[in-house]
Amino acid sequence: MFVDCHSHLNDPAFDGKVPAVLERSRVADVGKIVVSAYDYPSLARTAALASAFPEVILPTYGIHPWFVEGFHDYEDLWSFLQRKECIAVGEIGLDFSPEFVHRDLQVESFTRQVDWAKDHRLPVIIHCRKAYDELYRILLPYEGRIGGLIHSFSGGENWLSRFVDLGFYVSFSGSVTRPNARKYHRVARIAPLDCILLETDCPSIATESTVASEVEPRHVIEIAAKIAEIRNMQVGDMERHTTENALTLFKVPQEDK
């Protein structure tokens, strides 16, 4: 069984398509799919999916750095996070790409959500672009009290070891499947096996075989195969390690393994 550790089946692009997507995932042996909210409307859509497909969908709730401006309904967010099926706080993070301003607001919202995660002993699912310095500076004081995954990790070798030392997992998306994605390949080659996760981030990141809008959770297998090739391992071993890591991080009960 594979686990897709970060997806957006709650995206309007999947409206009306989820049952068929889940059937293809089941056939491909993707047994658990983490669905992460990212803005206010997606909170309720995520909860609805988790209620409709409780065996497969593991929901997480959070406000993504692209959507923190104008978001004030933290009490609503906390109430979603207290639902018993919720497994993590996310998608949260920092994006200091030039097109995203409001850096102070991003930091404030991120810190607030990390604090909540720490107090309620939930892992975090982090989006980070061009902000690894700031991310590390914020997370360092939480060492030992917070964990989680950095999704579609783009920090390169230096940041890899620092975040692994802080207790974080790194998650690989379709980005690693591209033949010329050398930075991702280097990280995939050296990341400790007990820190690696798989994700599609569908419908946002293309794989070598599929355009972004057509990526589904079943494409985690293409990602696993690429990492296995880079590391000269069997896909089945990559499956075993990444699934074990995911179930451990998200505290999915043993009987579901």
Helices (H), the chain: 18-27, 40-52, 74-81, 103-119, 132-139, 156-165, 182-190, 220-231, 235-249
Number of chain residues interacting with Zn ion (CB under 5 A): 2
Nearer to Zn ion, 91 or 239 (CB): 91
Minimum CB–partner distance for residue 232 and Zn ion (Å): 30
Q: Are 36 and 8 contacting, i.e. CB atoms less than 8 angstroms apart? A: yes
Site string for Zn ion, 31-70 (x = CB under 5 A): ----------------------------------------
Q: Which is nearer to Zn ion, 53 or 67 (CB)?
A: 67
Nearest approach in angstroms of CB 201 to Zn ion is: 5
Q: Which is nearer to Zn ion, 201 or 222 (CB)?
A: 201
- Cα separation, 190 vs 233, in Å, equals 13
Query: Binding to Zn ion by residue 201, rule CB under 5 A?
Result: yes
CB 91 to Zn ion: min, Å: 5
* Contact track, Zn ion, 160-199, x by CB under 5 A: ----------------------------------------
Residue 4 sits in the site that holds Zn ion (CB under 5 A)? no
Q: How far is the CB of 240 from Zn ion (least distance, A)?
A: 25
- Least gap, CB of 40 to Zn ion (angstroms): 16
Residue 227's Cβ-count burial label (10 Å; 0-12, 13-18, 19+) is buried
Q: What angle do CA 222, 43, 252 make, to 5 degrees?
A: 55
Q: Name the minimum Å distance from CB 128 to Zn ion.
A: 11
Evaluate whether 99 touches 131 at the Cβ level (below 8 Å): no
Closest CB 36 distance from Zn ion, rounded Å: 6
List of residues 6+ apart from 236 with CB closer than 8 A: none
Report which residue type is found at 237: D
- Nearest residue (beta carbon) to Zn ion: 201
Query: Which amino acid, residue 227?
Result: I
Candidates 11, 49, 59, 6; CA nearest to 30 is 6
Residue closer to Zn ion by CB (options 60, 245) is 60
Binding mask 79-118 for Zn ion (x = CB under 5 A): ------------x---------------------------
Q: Closest Cα partner for 222 from 172, 181, 165?
A: 172
d(CA 167, CA 159) in angstroms, rounded, equals 12
Site residues for Zn ion per CB under 5 A: 91, 201
